[in-house]
Structure 1
Amino acid sequence: MEAFVSRFVDRVTIHVAAGDGGHGCASVHREKFKPLGGPDGGNGGKGGDVQLVVDPNVHTLLDFHYRPNARAANGKPGQGSMRNGAQGGDLVLSVPDGTVVMTEDGEVLADLVGVGTTFVAAAGGRGGLGNAALASKARKAPGFALLGEAGEQFDLVLELKSVADVGLVGFPSAGKSSLISVLSAARPKIADYPFTTLVPNLGVVTAGETVFTVADVPGLIPGASEGRGLGLDFLRHIERCAVLVHVVDCATLEPGRDPLSDVDALENELAQYTPALKAEQGGQDLESRPRMVVLNKMDVPEARELAELVKADLEARGWPVFEVSTASREGLRELSFAMAAEVERYRAQLPPPEPARVVVRPAAVDAGNFTVEPDPQFEDAFVVRGEKPERWVRQTDFGNTEAIGFLADRLAKLGVEEALAKRGAKPGSQVTIGNMTFDWEPSTPAGVAGVLGRRGTDLRIDHDDRISASDRKAAKKARRSALDEFGQYVEEDGR
């Protein structure tokens, strides 16, 4: 029978992909006695967002370890009769309290603290406009619609930093797990060998009217801040702690170890570790946090003798020192109330909490700014960069010549043609916008209704080889006339 062992995962890399926007619809209203009733194509629906939301019932990032890919639903395309496509549903991913969202380069994007905190990890693509929304005096019945935009896609790193008030630090087997088990209702695994604790343990402690959480950080060793052992993986869990407590094993039999050297070694590691959230913490690092020292295992006679020798030196550093025994419960009450006092002092310095409120962030007004730069890869070529031009190119159906003409009009009105001329562009020069490259024709008039041909075409585009309805009708009449003449000839020849 295979036993199930739960895993604690506090750092994962996930790939999030928002939904694509639906394409707009190019449709013309038709009914009896109204063969051309005007454009009635609906707009495409917006793609769904990928959102990260803090959930109090989630305590690990294990789900993302097994399912690292997350994709929201696409928007539906528009339809005729003015029917807009449905929006794609948002994908909501639950994360633990204290999750930090970063890029692969280590840039912090969001620090998710507090139940209900939401972060849009990837925004869905916009839906394309239907031809009904594109109708104007120049184009009364557009034969094209805009394409939906692709949703955002990112590779993100999620790190879990436990939200604890007190952090217990110490060498392996110093008694941190035993201490948290007697101070709270937590029941961590306890044994007398290095690296017993492989995951951080959290416990809730009540001292009088103060309730606070204690985090037991897995054993630190010299070199942990440089990646040795387990320390680097779990040092992040004490970044948010109000006070750090050194748990010292006064009954150790290992040669070369004593309480003062243990504390000095761990202080050196804490000083070298730079918290990722240093800026958010007001510039404070772990070295500046309040300290306490717990001399553990006072139930052993040799440990009590050693504690009496080092207590004065530790107190000389300005740190309160407590002699405790997790076996006999000696000194635990005094320790818990001292921890509570430090936590209350820290909480009093924090700004008063603000009630949760809905924040509406309207989209920024796009001023249409763009730049025209020489293309470094080709001679006499240019690259146009800007939010509007690049978005318009993504929305254009290049299989429809009228849509291409509409794009040319929009770029000309934005001032792209004038900017290219100022930069020295000549007819036939290659111009790249987004992922498309064009041959620039400065003579293309913009916004001239007279150049429009039949629906779906533009007379300015010289490679249009579509057969028009009038041409098909004329060809049909010619074939019918030829058949009639052939039938008449056969009839006369048979006589």
Structure 2
Amino acid sequence: MIDQATINIISGDGGNGCISGRREKYVPKGGPDGGDGGDGGSIIFKSDENTNTLRYFQYSKKFVAESGTSGKPGLKHGSDGEDLEITVPVGTIISTKLGSSEDKKVLAEFTSHNQTFVICKGGRGGRGNTKFVNSINQFPLLAESGEKGSNISVFLELRLLADVGIIGSPNAGKSSLLTFLSNASPKVADYPFTTLEPVLGVVEHLSKSFVMVDIPGLIEGAHKGIGLGHDFLKHIDRTRVLLHMVDVSGPDPLQDIDNIKKEIALFDESINNKPSLVAINKIDIEGTQDSAEKILRELKGQGINAVAISAISGQGINDLRDKVTEMLEIESQSKKPKQTLAERLSGTKAGKNTQTQIEELKVIKPKPVDRRNQKGGVLVSGGEYIINSSTAIRIAAMVDPDSWEARTQFYSHLKKMGLIAQLEEKGIGPGDTVKLGDLEWEWHS
């Protein structure tokens, strides 16, 4: 089962603003008419309950949204780039690494069908020259280049969503039970580790239905990755009720139960707090009835719900269905707030702030910037004067270096932004080097 993938997502660049002027009848001096550039397309993830694997991302690793087009003369706005929608299974978690560490920041968690999250926001379109008109400069030769889109690598992890998780030692009869109860067809054979990946099945009972997942057999050391456990223990996390299968014909069924509980606790001790039911399986085998009754009594004495069944003959299956259905109803009626996985990974308590946090996860983008206050600053390094202003860099990219008038207007705009004053305060003099983005020039007083 493909339940992990790392992909590269790139949102579209914003289109450039246009530098243009019109010449119309009855408009003697004309005027600027350059349109703004279109916004770049965003990368949007959407959940689909009909998909249950990340196999598609095993071969497709790079996803690029469409860029916006440049503005045009006649105040024509550039076209916005088309968003790119990526479909993932319900239960997918999207995260990104925090710096160079192995720690991850959860960006989105899909817990229901048709959820959408904007993970990579497209670049903003640049302003056309009409936006630079003022009382002094009536025909600007300035415009902005479009903002670059974001380029990030994200980690996708699928944790299956199911109502009931069937757990137990290898060959305990989990797959046989799922086959008997549902429309699923897992591989069934008389040897350990027949099931090599989780299998989902829908169970219908008393006009209700619920989803069960068969988790591959767990052995001692599963939490460390021994056997098949490490990759699949995580799928238990999303289940509402645990159905613990135990082979009554085994050497020590009660010890099997304890061993599985210990492995789960070492992986995530909170999982053992879920409502659970023990299914003592294979009572169709001759001579096991007495052992089953003894185990039932011992478990009842410990306050543990249990039922004796045969996944082959169907003995006790109706009782099991009744108990599981009742447990799911009780769990649904519980008013205790449930933590989302994002909350658990971030250490945040569940409760009234849950919805707020999910809303905050829906769009991952830089904090809004007020262009009026985006003046930037000047840094002196190695005898060079470096102007640090994203707005100035975007305007500079559109300046015609062969136009003296355009260069003069750009200088005036830098002065208006307060950057020329900062250069002078830093002690710049004739012959010094000024850097702005990819541009570099010699200062003249």
What TM-score do the two structures reach when normalised by structure 1?
Answer: 0.74
Q: Contact 2:19–2:142 (CA<8 Å) still a contact in 1? A: yes
* Alpha-carbon distance in structure 1 between the residues aligned to 2:406 and 2:331: 63
1:273 aligned onto 2:255: no
State the partner residue of 1:393.
Answer: 393
Report SS of the residue matched to 1:93.
strand
Distance 1:26 1:307, change over 3 A: same
Report SS of the residue matched to 1:59.
coil
Amino acid at match of 2:249: A
Distance 1:299 1:78, change over 3 A: same
Distance 1:347 1:138, change over 3 A: same
State the partner residue of 1:462.
Answer: none
Q: Which has more radius of gyration?
A: 1
Amino acid at match of 1:332: I
* Alpha-carbon distance in structure 1 between the residues aligned to 2:34 and 2:378: 37
Q: 1:192-341 counterparts in 2 under 5 A?
A: 192-252=190-250, 257-274=251-268, 285-341=270-326
Amino acid at match of 2:36: N
* Alpha-carbon distance in structure 2 between the residues aligned to 1:165 and 1:258: 28
Amino acid at match of 2:258: D
Report SS of the residue matched to 2:373.
coil
1:169 aligned onto 2:174: no
- 5+ residue gaps, structure 1, are 1-7, 275-283, 444-495
Residue identity (%): 37
Displacement of 1:179: 0.8
Q: Contact 2:95–2:107 (CA<8 Å) still a contact in 1? A: yes
Displacement of 1:231: 1.6
1:22 aligned onto 2:15: yes
* Alpha-carbon distance in structure 2 between the residues aligned to 1:321 and 1:113: 30
* Alpha-carbon distance in structure 1 between the residues aligned to 2:211 and 2:30: 69
* Alpha-carbon distance in structure 1 between the residues aligned to 2:423 and 2:292: 80
* Alpha-carbon distance in structure 2 between the residues aligned to 1:188 and 1:392: 62
* Alpha-carbon distance in structure 1 between the residues aligned to 2:424 and 2:227: 63
Report SS of the residue matched to 1:306.
helix
State the partner residue of 1:94.
Answer: 87
Amino acid at match of 1:272: L
Amino acid at match of 2:78: G
Q: Contact 2:90–2:112 (CA<8 Å) still a contact in 1? A: yes
* Alpha-carbon distance in structure 1 between the residues aligned to 2:200 and 2:69: 46
Displacement of 1:194: 2.6
Distance 1:170 1:413, change over 3 A: farther
Q: Which structure is richer in relative contact order (CA contacts within 8 A, separation 6 or more)?
A: 2
Distance 1:309 1:425, change over 3 A: farther
Amino acid at match of 1:78: G
State the partner residue of 1:145.
Answer: 143
Q: Contact 2:10–2:63 (CA<8 Å) still a contact in 1? A: yes
Amino acid at match of 1:264: D
Distance 1:413 1:37, change over 3 A: closer
Distance 1:324 1:152, change over 3 A: same
Displacement of 1:299: 0.7
Report SS of the residue matched to 1:37.
strand
Q: 1:411-490 counterparts in 2 under 5 A?
A: 412-416=415-419, 426-427=428-429, 435-436=437-438
Distance 1:407 1:267, change over 3 A: farther
Displacement of 1:122: 1.0
* Alpha-carbon distance in structure 2 between the residues aligned to 1:212 and 1:118: 25
* Alpha-carbon distance in structure 2 between the residues aligned to 1:425 and 1:226: 61
Displacement of 1:160: 1.4
- 5+ residue gaps, structure 2, are 98-102, 339-354
Displacement of 1:334: 1.1
* Alpha-carbon distance in structure 1 between the residues aligned to 2:413 and 2:186: 66
Q: Which of 368, 373, 381 is matched with 2:373 structurally?
A: 368
Q: 1:176-191 counterparts in 2 under 5 A?
A: 176-191=174-189
What are the superposed Cα offsets for residues 336-380 of structure 1, whole Å, 9 maximum, x if unpaired?
Answer: 11111111111112579x9xxx999998463837886967xx446
Q: Contact 2:378–2:419 (CA<8 Å) still a contact in 1? A: no
- Which structure has greater strand proportion? 2
What TM-score do the two structures reach when normalised by structure 2?
Answer: 0.81
Amino acid at match of 1:213: V
State the partner residue of 1:72.
Answer: 65
What are the superposed Cα offsets for residues 87-122 of structure 1, whole Å, 9 maximum, x if unpaired?
Answer: 111111111111111114421111112222111121
Amino acid at match of 2:6: T
State the partner residue of 1:128.
Answer: 126
